[in-house]
Amino acid sequence: MSHDDIRALLQLQDDPAMSCDEVNALLDDQMRLVEQRIAELQALRKQLRAIRSTCAGGVCVGDCGALESLRSATGASWPTVR
């Protein structure tokens, strides 16, 4: 949660007679942000696994399939070490 959101919760706490709908709205917003971040991280994990699967290991960096995969994905023309 951001500092602003925490401040907002603390201010809401100062008015005990107030409806808790605002608290729930803030928490719902936070849950949506967390769900979005989880989806982004899961997509990143999938990409990293795919890149990792292109390198069997045991070869020099110049022949690394993972690095070649990254070069291809970014269109970069990194020098190949031989």
pLDDT at 82 > cutoff 60? no
The candidate with the shortest Cα–Cα distance to 13, out of 46, 1, 54, 5, is 5
DSSP state of 78: P
CA pair distance 80, 82, nearest whole angstrom: 6
Token pair for 26:
């803030």
**What is the percentage of the chain residues whose pLDDT exceeds 90?**
34
pTM across the whole model: 0.67
- Which pLDDT tens digit goes with each residue over 20-57? 998 999 999 999 999 999 999 999 999 889 888 888 77
pLDDT at 78 > cutoff 60? no
